[in-house]
Structure 1
């Protein structure tokens, strides 16, 4: 009986070992392989995204050796609703395809706090970078509108000219690495300004604030976008 049991347990151990080896082999065979890793060539304005909270952000394409979670999916979901901060929006700049038919985008937050890879579905965004799903959704950060003729024909001035009142190439946190135009407007506080364009922030950023593009005939270096609430039609005299 003891001999019989000994043979039984030996056979059982061998069987378990074989199962373990087989499972390990399948796991190794199933490792994710990156087939392509290329820069996105599409227009930069079509590569702005908000995280959906469906997928995490990784240091490498998931499945690769050393890939680590940089931001959990739940944290990204919370991040997506942050009012008006630089880490809110992401810019995509590389796309990778894996052997299982999946695509991943490498993204960076506008303030460069977050940078990594995230799953975006089974459609190649290299052809159309707005066609993403799962971890990201394509968004418009700023939308230009139709300028009211009355606004276009009115002369404006800076309402509170100070170091924090700026004209910008693009409204703050609406494009990656594009923003401030002037360090301050205090040198041009008495200049007349004409409004030539209007636009609004999107996705409830800063309550979808309205911006005007102003032009300064006397000092063209002032030209740029500024929040409409920082302009006035009343000329005041400031001495700085």
Structure 2
């Protein structure tokens, strides 16, 4: 059995070996056949390089020049660009949103003039446009703007077609009628026609609602054109009236040379004056000339004068003298040196809630004094007769809310009464006729002499300061004088 086992093992190994060889042989044969098959089927390949065709750049050219008298407005559908769509380096100029705003605008500045139609190499049409205000210029698709058939409509002329033009902006055409009309101002070489009368010949309303009149100067038919209706008036303008008055005033003036009496060769100032009451023969009475000169001396530091201080061509005047308009006069003036305190009265308003209001002066022994320095008192209350009295300065430092004289108190032991300054009543012509005019406006050159010359009933002299009075115990207005009347001295200095 041992012999047979060895033989069997040998045969097995031999068989395995054969099988392996056979397998190897078969595999080799298969590879040879496969290689042989590959050689017979394989052909030589050539790689073909494909080149992509480049698109041609978009170009454009002008196909039509358009009528520049036509007016267009935005439709809001398209934006404006620096070049037509698709053209290289094109940039946005006005967005579609902004063009939508211009479509709804009523301003002629947002209208357009289309002066070229262009066509791109792709067959798309654009307009080249410019806005009426010349701030926008560029290309827009043709449906981005539309023509306005009637940019102006006929308007009614004024009922009175004769009047004045208040502007120098006279146009060849109404602004908004077509492009360039707003810059087409006529040049009349500085001619002043403000005082000339004009006739309205025509009237139109432009896009946006402004009405223009076509006017012609009645003095010179060459001066004509279109103006806004607001710049035409049937009344002579105030500027013209003032100018004419100034010219007339200059023609009627007297010319005054003021000379100091300390040095008769020394001129201290010169003025042209227009006294009141010019006579039909072109002369003034001496009293009106003296009054005008004295008014001019207020606040200058010089005293008032009389007719004997005036010379006309070397001759001294008197109260019966007559002076021609345009005359040159010399006035001898004297510097002031007579400072004194302004007089004033503290008055109480009686019956403030009735139609029977009246004033009563408050006596000196009723009020507590107000403390102030001598310097403050001198600066506010003292001056020369012909010095200008500064009421506003006094009011701000003494009479305004919180200032020393705004509220006063009675000097009885309980300080029963409070006196409160009433500016509305004080600052009237009725209360202070030398300080406030009939329109209750402050007379700016009122002097200390003017204020001191005021004298009214009930012992009220000088500056009249009006107060309302409250009874502190009852909280009610005191309608009748607390105690007597008299001139008040308030200050401890």
Pairwise TM-score range, normalised by the shorter structure: 0.5 to 0.7
Tell me the TM-score normalized by structure 1. Answer: 0.66
Aligned to 1:192: 197
CA spacing shift, 1:135–1:41, aligned 2, 3 Å: closer
5+ unaligned residues in a row in structure 1: which ranges? 1-17, 121-133
Aligned to 1:224: 225
Question: How many angstroms apart in 1 are the aligned matches of 2:126 and 2:108?
Answer: 24
- Contact kept in structure 1, 2:201 and 2:216, CA below 8 Å: yes
Deviations 1:193-221 (A, max 9, x none): 1111110012xx2xx12211001132345
- Contact kept in structure 2, 1:141 and 1:175, CA below 8 Å: no
- Among 151, 155, 160, the alignment partner of 2:162 is 155
- Contact kept in structure 1, 2:175 and 2:206, CA below 8 Å: no
- Among 69, 90, 106, the alignment partner of 1:45 is 69
Superposition map of 1:198-209 within 5 A: 198-202=203-207, 205=208, 208-209=209-210
Tell me the TM-score normalized by structure 2. Answer: 0.35
Question: How many angstroms apart in 1 are the aligned matches of 2:147 and 2:108?
Answer: 18
Task: Tell me the SS of whatever aligns to 1:94.
Answer: strand
CA spacing shift, 1:95–1:156, aligned 2, 3 Å: same
Question: How many angstroms apart in 1 are the aligned matches of 2:121 and 2:63?
Answer: 15
- Among 143, 148, 154, the alignment partner of 2:152 is 143
Aligned to 2:43: none
- Contact kept in structure 2, 1:211 and 1:226, CA below 8 Å: yes
Question: How many angstroms apart in 2 are the aligned matches of 1:143 and 1:178?
Answer: 13
1:112 counterpart = 2:134: yes
Task: Tell me the SS of whatever aligns to 2:69.
Answer: helix
Question: How many angstroms apart in 1 are the aligned matches of 2:226 and 2:127?
Answer: 31
Offset of 1:156 from its aligned partner? 2.0
Offset of 1:118 from its aligned partner? 0.6
Aligned to 2:55: 28
Q: Using CA pairs below 8 Å that are at least 6 residues apart, which structure has the higher relative contact order?
A: 1
Aligned to 1:75: 98
Aligned to 2:88: 65
Task: Tell me the SS of whatever aligns to 2:97.
Answer: helix
Task: Tell me the SS of whatever aligns to 1:188.
Answer: coil
Question: How many angstroms apart in 1 are the aligned matches of 2:218 and 2:63?
Answer: 44
CA spacing shift, 1:197–1:142, aligned 2, 3 Å: farther
- Contact kept in structure 1, 2:163 and 2:197, CA below 8 Å: yes
Offset of 1:33 from its aligned partner? 4.0
Aligned to 1:131: none
Offset of 1:67 from its aligned partner? 1.3
Offset of 1:182 from its aligned partner? 4.8
Question: How many angstroms apart in 1 are the aligned matches of 2:221 and 2:64?
Answer: 36
Question: How many angstroms apart in 1 are the aligned matches of 2:194 and 2:181?
Answer: 24
Offset of 1:117 from its aligned partner? 0.6
5+ unaligned residues in a row in structure 2: which ranges? 1-49, 245-493
Offset of 1:140 from its aligned partner? 5.0
